[in-house]
Amino acid sequence: MTSSSTQAVPDTPQIPRHIAVIMDGNGRWATKRFLPRVAGHKKGVETVREMVRNCAELGVEYLTLFAFSSENWRRPKEEVSLLMRLFISVLENEVSRLNENGIRLRVVGDLSAFDPALQKAIATAEHKTAANTKLCLTIAANYGGRWDVLQAMRRLLVEQPGLTPEQVTEEAFVRYLCMADAPEPDLFIRTGGEKRISNFLLWQLAYTELYFTDTFWPDFDRNALHQAILSYQQRERRFGRTSAQVQAESAAVSAQAAC
């Protein structure tokens, strides 16, 4: 993580640098149309494609999408295996296009639970796009926020066994989290009407602006994204300070820029 919102007040860009999304509502989108749930997941892939394009155009630097949670294994076996197959086919079909558009792909989560063929497809896609800088697209798959914190703590203990409790600082710890290379999300979006975090980026969302919409993920178009960003732009990000302090600081920044 490049800077910590609890250690120092971060910049507050007009266009979020990092957007994190829980893409929810695929199943209900399909059911409403008397279609099988998988039709919603397939349509959801189209929305992902469009979302990536729109974010790249707007200058968003990091887009993190929750595709499969550590709790989603509880779903019926058929749905889980359909989702896995869809994931493989998306990786195979989309990576060249991502690469042509300068997009870097990363997949975070406990990948050891996936089929070896899927693990290989992920490694190949990450390798192929590693040098791209236009937008970093991270897919969270078999990801859980609690798992992330635990795996980070375990790696810290293994790699730095001599640390005293006082040496276990935020700085020492966060380098082991899955999203260590990205800034904390500025904007979190959850589609599909539920107002919960569902074990997504628990550590990283500490000061993220939260946006919930009833729109199902397959319907989340460019206009819906603009609405979310507009809502974000109307927030006052105080990070613990008072409103008067925030306003005084932004007046001082504007005055300095005018000199």
Show which residues are catalytic.
Answer: 24, 72
How many whole angstroms from its chain centre is CA 91? 17
What tokens appear for 247 in the block?
Answer: 């306003």
Is residue 177 close enough to count as binding ligand IPE by CB under 6 A? no
Q: Would you give the DSSP letter of residue 113?
A: G
* Stretch near Mg ion under the rule CB under 5 A, chosen from 20-28, 72-80, 120-128, 146-154: 20-28
Q: Which of 131, 85, 140, 69 is nearest to 107 (CA)?
A: 140
DSSP 204: T
- Sheet with 103-108, strands from edge to edge, namely 103-108, 135-143, 62-69, 18-22, 187-190, 209-212
Q: Are 197 and 9 in contact (CB under 8 A)?
A: no
Query: Any residues with CB less than 8 A from the CB of 75 and at least 6 apart, and which?
Result: none
- How far apart are CB 40 and ligand IPE at their closest, in Å? 6
- Answer yes or no whether residue 54 interacts with ligand IPE by CB under 6 A: no
Number of Cβ atoms within 10 Å of the Cβ of 102: 13
CB of 24 to Mg ion, least distance (A): 4
For residues 105 and 95, the answer to whether their CB atoms sit within 8 Å is yes
Work out whether 144 is an interface residue with ligand IPE (CB under 6 A).
no
Tokens of 100: 């042509």
| Pair 51, 225: CB distance under 8 Å | yes
**Based on CB atoms, which residue is closest to ligand IPE, 90 or 174?**
90
Residue 179 binding: pick among ligand IPE, Mg ion, none (C-beta 5-8 Å cut-off by kind): none
Site for ligand IPE in 198-227 (CB under 6 A): 198
User: Looking at beta carbons only, is 4 or 142 nearer to ligand IPE?
Assistant: 142
As measured in angstroms, the least distance from the Cβ of 55 to ligand IPE is 17
Q: Does 68 bind ligand IPE (CB under 6 A)?
A: yes
Contact 111, 148 (CB under 8 A): no
Q: Report the residue closest to ligand IPE, judged by CB.
A: 27
Cβ atoms of 179 and 1 within 8 Å: the answer is: yes
Q: Cβ of residue 25: shortest distance to ligand IPE, in angstroms?
A: 4
List 20, 24, 106, 174, residue binding Mg ion (CB under 5 A): 24
> Quick one: what does residue 125 bind among ligand IPE, Mg ion, none, with the CB cut-off 5 to 8 Å set by partner type?
none
* Residue 53, token pair as written in the block: 């394009």
How many positions of this chain bind ligand IPE (CB under 6 A)? 17
Per-residue contact string for residues 73-92; x = within reach of ligand IPE by CB under 6 A: ----------x---------
Applying CB under 6 A, which residues contact ligand IPE? 22-28, 66-69, 72, 83, 192, 194, 196, 198
Applying CB under 5 A, which residues contact Mg ion? 24
